[in-house]
Amino acid sequence: MITKLKKVFLISLIVIFCFSNLNTWSQEKTIKEDKRVLFISSYGPSFLTFKNHFNIIKSQIPNVQIDVEFMDSKKFKNMENEKNFYNTLDFKLKNSKKYDCVILSDDNALKFYLDYQKILFKKTPYVFLGISCNNLIEKSKKLGFGAGIRENTFAIETINLAKKINNKSKELKIVYDESDTSKKEFKILESKIFKIKGLNIEKIKTNDFSKLEFKKKINKWNKNTIILLISAYEFKDQNLNLEEVIKIFNEYANAPVYPIWTLGIGSGFFASKAINQDEMALEAGKLVRKALTEGQLYSKDINLNLKGRFIADESLVIKNGISKSVFPKKTIFVNKKISLVEKNKKIFIIIGLSFLLLFILVLALFLNIIKRKQMQKELMQKHQELYALYEQIESSEEILKDQYDQLQKNKEIIQKNEQRHRLIFEASNDLLWDYDFETFENYFSNSFYEFFGKENKELFKNISEFFKLIHPDDRDKIKLKFYNLTKDKESVFCLEYRVLCKENIYKWILTTGKVLKDQNGKINRIIGSHSVIDDRKNKEEEIKRLAYFDTITNLGNRTYFNEILKNALNKNEKNQVVCLLDIDDFKFINDTYGHYFGDEFLACISKKIQSLNLKFSFLGRIGGDEFAMIFNQDHIRLDYFIEEIYKLSRKPLEILNKKLYFNFSMGILKDFKKENNITDILRKIDIALYQAKKNGKGKSIIFEENMDEELKRKISLQNDLRNAIENENGLILYYQPQKNIKTMETDGFEALVRWMNPSDGMISPLDFIPLAEESGLIIPMGKWILKTAMQFSKKLKMNYGKEFTIAVNISATQINDPNFVQDFKELFQKEDMTPKMIAIEITESILMESFDSSVKKLEQIQKMGIKISMDDFGTGYSSLNYLRKLPINTLKIDKSFIDDIVNIKATSNLTQFIIKVAQELQMLVIAEGVENQEQLNIIRNFGCDIVQGYYFSKPLSVEDVKKYLEKEK
């Protein structure tokens, strides 16, 4: 590629070089350097045409020296001048080397040559130009060794051109003088003048005018005049040179000047048809070259018919507003503004060529770069492919190496494994064995003998002998396993059983093994191990004991109970009974005497039950104070069982030197085999137990199907109640007046809740309050009751201007709520209560659960100034001792006392006593359930403060309270 480029570059350089030297190169070949040429000009050196002629001729013979001699015959037109010129030339020619060619410009020079040829020039070849005289040319022809060009004139064609250019022209002025050439040309023109039509012709011979007169004359001519100038050098008073003539015409003539020679066109004259001086000089130059190269010229070389050309001054064409199209096609326009490009055409061509070359070079370079890039890309691609291939090879080599390494490792592992297996077999603590059924070959590990004793080695030769060592209870399951193995049901086995070891005791072992069979499915080999699992088995037993047994009583626990029940359900036995026994008020015992005592108590009870020697299939403690028993009625009669159990509660238990009476409730489910599942069984005995407790402790209840219904109803009621509370819909508060026994004025009311159930109508609080307590619904319900009661109290205050005390019943569950006090205080503030406007009633059941915390809470309420009443006093523990410790303001004697107060003396006395104690403790006393005047009288005498009962009013709706209070006024 690069060599190609070099070639292109070199060739281009050569082309440019040749082009720039084309002329010189072709000429210098033939002309020798020592040639000499003489140039004789008819005129002076200032004559414009001379310089032009000289340069053009010189360009044809650039290396040849040309000597110039000026005759100046135009200026000095006399013989003396000619004589002097002759002398000078004669002197010069005699004292210098001979000329090889003489150039003769214009008629006078040729005439001089021809006149003095023999003396001065001998037969030196000569070239003439600018010759219009036919005589001279004829003479030259006769001489025979010179050649040249005749300078013809074209006056008629010039006049026709002028007419064409300005068709308004009427006048033709022919200007000439008396010089030889001029006279000659004028004569020629005169002979042809008939050819000119439509023009007034005036002939002006300048010799007839002074310069001034001439100026005036030409100044009168209008612009449409055609001035044909033959010559105007000679005037009456003086002779002028070309420049001066041109100047006169330029300044004074209004019309353009048409000379018959080209001389002056471009310097002021307008246009002409004439011999082109440059062409003529070029022709002459060629003849000089011929004379120098060939050594001679001939008369046949004379050019008589050099064609005339139209020549015009372009700047004047433009100045006079003449269209160029009027001129003939090949007209030469001179004096045009030559553009830089034209002037420096050669340089521009060189530059252009250089640019072209550069462009070619750049293009080639560019293509080269593209091609190289492409190759580079291809190379890169190839390289990448190669690299990828290399990597592939490398990675597969790696893989191969890895595989080889892996193989090696595997081999090592296999070897190690073999070794290890041998070692394991020898050293294992397990008793390994391998029995071949075909060869009867056996193999046992050392530990095997250590376990069974070496003397027993023979035993294993025969499987049936080995069976003798197995615990009789476990033999069946092993036989079954072997049976399954032979029947193809299993191929791997795993068995736990006891065998007689060398110490002659049974130990637990785990046998695992695999059976190998031949093609026919016959067992041919068994391989396996025996592991001694005695320790594990013992631990399992212990864990089982912990998981299934209760540590306090050593009886089965709930898990065990469930297990047993499950098994019992599976058995087909009828009349199986399950019984749940619950110690009454065990919590009270626990709280009072402490947990240690409680535990002792439970252990003692369990011993007592066991000591009854009833044939239970299960006896266990399945909860805190709950015992479960399972037995079959066919073995123990149910009534006998109940009788025997309750016998226990008749005598006190002696625990840690304390004697304690106790009682219990029992729920019983007969023939539980009928049940579907354990859950049902558990639910049903729970229901029975619940019923027993509800019916007032110390009782046993046998489950009946309708109990289930009750429970379901209870659940549905609970749902209804939840809805009622959530939607505040169906719950109403009734208010029962409480009267001051002295004034018999109503001081307050007890708020009592009612529930209008959409399906069952009005439901008693005795029925739904326990439900609400059990389900926790009492908390939201209690809040609603408190809020409603407070709002009612506020309303009463507003309507009657008096603060009535509204007593609200608060259940134990409510007090246990950790937020109780906080919620109460917030409500109290929100409803804008004063302490007198609200009171609370509690029952002794509060004391049964978390006594201390309840007391603290009540104290906080009391500190607010709120009165607390102990409701239903006399029905529970009713310990007067407690009263001291409790934050109580009022004792509310239960209705049952009032009921009997008239008729039963003891009750009356007791009531009186209670009132006295209360007064001592500075408590007020309320009597509730007062139904008649008698009762009222008695309690008034006893000093009771407040009364409440149907005698005064039943609990009233809000409306009825209004009526009631109106009536009282």
Distance CA 927, CA 738 (A): 9
Q: With CB cut-offs between 5 and 8 Å by kind, which of ligand C2E, Ca ion, none does residue 765 bind?
A: ligand C2E
Residue 780 found at the interface with ligand C2E (CB under 6 A):
no
User: What letter does residue 421 receive in the DSSP assignment?
Assistant: H
Residues in the chain: 969
Nearest-approach distance from CB 816 to ligand C2E, in angstroms? 13
Q: Could you say whether residue 667 binds ligand C2E (CB under 6 A)?
A: no
Query: Token digits for 595?
Result: 């947990």
CB neighbour class for 403 (10 Å; exposed up to 12, middle 13-18, buried from 19)? exposed
CB of 837 to ligand C2E, least distance (A): 17
Binding residue for ligand C2E, selected from 665, 854, 929, 945, defined by CB under 6 A: 929
Under rule CB under 6 A, residue 436 binds ligand C2E: no
Mapping DSSP to helix (H, G, I), strand (E, B) and coil, where does residue 512 land?
strand
Least distance CB 931 / ligand C2E (angstroms): 4
With CB cut-offs between 5 and 8 Å by kind, which of ligand C2E, Ca ion, none does residue 811 bind?
Answer: ligand C2E
With CB under 6 A as the contact rule, the residue among 507, 931, 960, 964 that binds ligand C2E is: 931
The reply to whether 874 sits near ligand C2E by the rule CB under 6 A is no
**785 sits near ligand C2E (criterion: CB under 6 A):** yes
Near Ca ion by CB under 5 A: residue from 185, 301, 584, 871: 871
Which residues between 835 and 854 bind Ca ion (CB under 5 A)?
A: 841
Q: Is 268 in the site for ligand C2E (CB under 6 A)?
A: no
Least separation, in Å, of the C-beta of 763 and ligand C2E?
Answer: 10
Other Cβ atoms closer than 10 A to 47: 21
| 752 lies in the site for ligand C2E, by CB under 6 A | yes
Minimum distance, C-beta of residue 954 to ligand C2E, in the bound complex (Å): 7
> Rounded to the nearest whole angstrom, what is the least distance from the CB of residue 787 to ligand C2E in the complex?
12
Alpha-carbon distance of 69 to 82, in angstroms, equals 12
**169 touches, from Ca ion, ligand C2E, none (C-beta below 5 to 8 Å by class):** none
Q: In the structure encoding, which two tokens stand for residue 208, read together?
A: 């007839």
Closest CA to 749 of 578, 956, 554: 956
Alpha-carbon gap, residue 553 to 566, rounded angstroms = 22
Position among 103, 753, 858, 925 found at the interface with ligand C2E (CB under 6 A): 753
- Distances in Å between the alpha carbon of 717 and those of 687, 709, 721? 17, 12, 6
Q: Is 751 in the site for ligand C2E (CB under 6 A)?
A: yes
Q: Which is nearer to ligand C2E, 82 or 871 (CB)?
A: 871
Rounded-to-integer distance, Cα 69 and Cα 109, Å: 10
Two tokens, residue 268:
């002021």
Minimum distance, C-beta of residue 752 to ligand C2E, in the bound complex (Å)? 4
Quote the CA–CA distance of 843 and 823 in Å, as a whole number.
Answer: 20
**Do residues 133 and 304 touch, judged by C-beta distance below 8 A?**
no
Tracing tokens 């890039």 back to the chain, one arrives at 373
CB of 764 to ligand C2E, least distance (A): 5
Look at phi and psi of residue 650 and say left if phi exceeds 0, alpha if psi is from -120 to 50, else beta. Answer: alpha
- Site mask, ligand C2E, residues 803-822, x = CB under 6 A? ------xxx-----------
* Of 955, 956, 961, 965, the one binding ligand C2E by CB under 6 A: 955
Residue 502 and residue 479: Cα distance in Å, rounded? Answer: 23
Q: Is 950 in the site for ligand C2E (CB under 6 A)?
A: yes
> Which partner in ligand C2E, Ca ion, none is near 602 (CB below 5 to 8 A by kind)?
none
Q: How far is the CB of 807 from Ca ion (least distance, A)?
A: 7
What is the smallest separation between the CB atom of 773 and ligand C2E, expressed in angstroms? 8
Does residue 361 contact residue 8 with C-beta atoms inside 8 Å? yes
How many residues bind to Ca ion according to rule CB under 5 A?
4
SS3 211: helix
- What does the alpha-carbon distance between residue 781 and residue 733 come to, in Å, rounded to a whole number? 11
The answer to whether residue 872 forms part of the interface with ligand C2E (CB under 6 A) is yes
User: If contact means CB under 5 to 8 A according to the sort of partner, which of ligand C2E, Ca ion, none does residue 911 touch?
Assistant: none
Contact 125, 297 (CB under 8 A): yes
Type of residue at 831: E
Stretch in the footprint of Ca ion (CB under 5 A) among 185-193, 630-638, 791-799, 871-879: 871-879
With CB under 5 to 8 Å by kind, the binding choice for 949 among Ca ion, ligand C2E, none is: ligand C2E
Shortest distance (Å) from residue 872 CB to Ca ion: 4
Under rule CB under 6 A, residue 838 binds ligand C2E? no
The residue to which tokens 């004139």 are assigned: 153
Give the C-alpha separation, 693 to 701, whole Å.
Answer: 9
Give the interface segment with Ca ion, choosing from 69-77, 512-520, 848-856, 863-871 (CB under 5 A): 863-871
Minimum CB distance to ligand C2E smaller for 462 or for 764: 764
Q: How far is the CB of 843 from ligand C2E (least distance, A)?
A: 7
Q: Please report the sign of the dihedral spanned by the C-alpha atoms of residue 159, residue 165, residue 171, residue 174.
A: negative
Instruction: Give the whole-angstrom CA distance, residue 693 versus residue 700.
Output: 9
In sequence order, which residues have a C-beta less than 8 Å from that of residue 151 and are 6 or more positions away? 129, 130, 131, 132, 261, 275, 280, 306
Binding part of the chain for ligand C2E, among 52-60, 62-70, 763-771, 849-857 by CB under 6 A, reads 763-771
**Cβ partners under 8 Å of residue 332, min gap 6:** 276, 309, 310, 311, 312
Per the CB < 8 A criterion, the answer to whether 673 and 564 are in contact is no
User: Which partner from the list Ca ion, ligand C2E, none does 753 bind, CB cut-off 5 to 8 Å by kind?
Assistant: ligand C2E
Burial 564-574 (b: 16+ CB within 10 A, else e): bbeebbeeeee
- Which among 356-364, 396-404, 872-880, 931-939 is the span making contact with Ca ion, rule CB under 5 A? 872-880
In the complex with Ca ion, which residue's Cβ is closer, 112 or 897?
897
* C-alpha torsion sign, points 167, 171, 174, 175: negative
Residue 361, CA atoms < 13 Å, CB-side half-sphere: 15
Q: Is 739 exposed, middle or buried (0-12, 13-18, 19+ CB in 10 A)?
A: buried
**Sign (positive/negative) of CA torsion 226, 228, 233, 236?**
negative
234, 313, 872, 945: which one binds Ca ion (CB under 5 A) = 872
Q: Which is nearer to ligand C2E, 9 or 784 (CB)?
A: 784
- Span of 293-301, 597-605, 676-684, 922-930 interacting with ligand C2E by CB under 6 A: 922-930
Residue 752 near which of Ca ion, ligand C2E, none (CB within 5-8 Å, type-dependent): ligand C2E
Using the structure block, give the residue that is written with the tokens 């006079």: 320
For residue 179, the one-letter residue type is: S
Q: Cα separation of 761 and 730, whole Å?
A: 10
Nearer to Ca ion, 584 or 872 (CB): 872
Q: Is residue 809 a contact point for Ca ion (CB under 5 A)?
A: yes
**Residue 308 engages ligand C2E in binding (rule: CB under 6 A):** no
Choosing from 698, 730, 765, 770, the residue that interacts with ligand C2E (CB under 6 A) is 765
Binding region for Ca ion (CB under 5 A): 809, 841, 871-872
Binding region for ligand C2E (CB under 6 A): 736, 751-753, 764-766, 769, 785, 809-811, 871-872, 928-931, 949-950, 955
